[in-house]
A = this chain, B = another copy of it.
Amino acid sequence: GYATLDLQREERTGFPEVIYGEGKTREQILGIFTKLMEHHQKVLATRVSNEKAVYIIAELRRLHPDDTFHYHEAARTLHWIASGYQERWKEGYIAVVCAGTSDLPVAEEAAITAELMGNKIERIYDIGVAGLHRLLNKVQLIEGANVVIVVAGMEGALASVVGGLVSKPVVAVPTSIGYGASMNGIAALLAMLSSCASGVSVVNIDNGFGAGYFAATMTNTI
């Protein structure tokens, strides 16, 4: 068949396999989603286009009329939580910080992922370095988090600046926002990797999912 599901992943790594929606047909996503619902209490699919989502949700509702399915249009995430599932929320919160309004879809993907993994989220959006006081106003709130996710495109300077201001681990997400020399996020990616601030690590361009997931593995340890 087209899929060999990793049904032991939850046991091994703490969260079920997440469906990567790109490059899969809507029928394949639906098939995998349905199968995972049989074995887990949460299912998440990422990078599900609006077009595919319409079909998949309709089918899911037809097959599981008593369940609720959540699709976030900007973040392109589709998820399900078993009705009756009781979340055990982690202590404290994860701060999701983004530089500009245009970075919002990636920030939301991170927030939704980490939330689904049992973390409370503090969303702090559009506080990029071009207007530094916006960030300085929020330093306390950011320092208060367990982990900080910083989402930024263009030159990605926000990650370094946040990294220099707080003692918490900073997970940086470069976004593809920008043009020309920003090279679809390569400029921000290289900049974040070269950060002069020390407590910063980086995930792939536009990979809000990865940042949210990584941050959640950290709070597992707490």
Is B3's CB under 8 angstroms from A131's CB? no
Contacts of A160 in B (CB 8 A): 129-130, 155, 157
In chain A between 139 and 181, which residues have their CB closer than 8 angstroms to a CB of chain B? 146-147, 153-157, 160-161, 163-169, 171, 174, 176-181
Contacts of A17 in B (CB 8 A): 130-131
Residues of A in contact, count (CB < 8 Å): 97
User: A182's contact among B163, B181, B204, by CB below 8 Å, is which?
Assistant: B204
Nearest CB in chain B: distance from A159 CB, A: 8
Task: Kindly report how many copies of this chain are found in the complex they form together.
Answer: 8
Contacts of A125 in B (CB 8 A): 1-4
Closest to A11 in B: B167
Is B181's CB under 8 angstroms from A13's CB? no
Is A102's CB under 8 angstroms from B134's CB? no
A205 located at the interface, meaning its Cβ lies under 8 Å from any Cβ of chain B in the complex? yes
A188 located at the interface, meaning its Cβ lies under 8 Å from any Cβ of chain B in the complex? yes
**A176-B183 Cα distance, complex, nearest whole Å:** 12
Is B221's CB under 8 angstroms from A146's CB? yes
In chain A between 86 and 110, which residues have their CB closer than 8 angstroms to a CB of chain B? 99-104
A119 located at the interface, meaning its Cβ lies under 8 Å from any Cβ of chain B in the complex? no
Is B191's CB under 8 angstroms from A155's CB? yes
Nearest CB in chain B: distance from A42 CB, A: 14
Closest to A216 in B: B199
**Known pairs A20-B100, A182-B190, A193-B205. 13 more at Cβ < 8 A?**
A13-B166, A13-B199, A28-B101, A130-B196, A132-B161, A132-B164, A155-B194, A167-B220, A169-B214, A179-B207, A181-B194, A181-B205, A194-B204
Of the A-B pairs whose beta carbons lie under 8 Å apart in the complex, a sample of 29, sorted by A's number, is A2-B104, A6-B133, A13-B165, A13-B166, A22-B102, A28-B101, A129-B164, A130-B160, A132-B161, A132-B165, A147-B218, A147-B221, A155-B157, A155-B160, A155-B196, A156-B157, A157-B196, A179-B204, A180-B207, A181-B189, A182-B190, A182-B193, A182-B194, A193-B202, A194-B204, A198-B209, A198-B210, A198-B214, A221-B222
Closest 4 CB pairs of A and B: A180-B205, A23-B102, A6-B131, A157-B157
